[in-house]
Amino acid sequence: MEATPLAIPDVLLITPRVHGDERGFFMESFNRRDFEAVAGVSATFVQDNHSRSARGVLRGLHYQVEQPQGKLVRVVAGEILDVAVDIRRGSATRGQWVSARLSAANHRQLWVPEGFAHGFVVLSTTADVLYKTTHYYAPRFERSIRWDDPTLAIDWQREAWCWGSQPILSDKDRLASDFHASEIP
Ligand SMILES: Cc1cn([C@H]2C[C@H](O)[C@@H](COP(=O)(O)OP(=O)(O)O[C@H]3O[C@@H](C)C(=O)[C@@H](O)[C@H]3O)O2)c(=O)[nH]c1=O
């Protein structure tokens, strides 16, 4: 595997080694020893999540104020634009974001550390997104920042998924707070 730091260097783009042959392919989607040695991340994952969404569905931006979740995100069907926003108090890159296209075809993964808000939009007809988390889901601690916060000004690459329409959001995400009004850990 390779681990490439993005513009916020604690966020890593992980490229696993894919062994292709006439049967298809094989890859280690997670190897704790390599993740520590190559990515330099010592994380204990406690929960695996799987969501399926249609094109134009946007989930996020989510974080937990207590029990923050580091997330290792990958896609097993379709393609997403995955986004991580630095919300760490005192961080030099607080309020900045990075993104990466993750797909079943490119096998890439995004490591989103604790202290980041996370979200994604679906670029393909549907996408199945799998992610491991370092803390359990705790709805009482969960918070949302609005996806289109003008301060964050995230480029959601709308040309790839929307024909002038708005993203498909949950009620919770439709009511999400501005970044500046958010309760940052
Ligand atoms: C996130 C989550 C949700 N749920 C339940 C709550 C609810 O009834 C249903 C759907 O939940 P949500 O609408 O919050 O799902 P979703 O909008 O997909 O939330 C996820 O978004 C991405 C971007 C993340 O980063 C995740 O951490 C998580 O916040 O699933 C769990 O049981 N466990 C979980 O870990």
22-72: pLDDT as tens digits: 999 999 999 999 999 999 999 999 999 999 999 999 999 999 999 999 999
CA distance 62 to 53: 16
Q: Is 132 in the pocket of ligand 1 (CB under 6 A)?
A: no
CB 152 within 8 A of CB 123: no
- Give me the catalytic one of 63, 107, 118, 131: 131
Whether 137 sits among the annotated catalytic residues: the reply is: no
Q: Is 174 in the pocket of ligand 1 (CB under 6 A)?
A: no
120-159: pLDDT as tens digits: 999 999 999 999 999 999 999 999 999 999 999 999 999 9
Whether 50 sits among the annotated catalytic residues: the reply is: no
Global pTM reads: 0.97
Domain boundaries, the chain: 2-174
CATH T-level fold of 2-174: Jelly Rolls (2.60.120)
Look up tokens 């997104």; give the residue.
129
Residue nearest (by alpha carbon) to ligand 1 atom 31:
137
Cα(22) to ligand 1 centroid in Å equals 37
Is the ipTM of this structure higher than 0.85?
yes
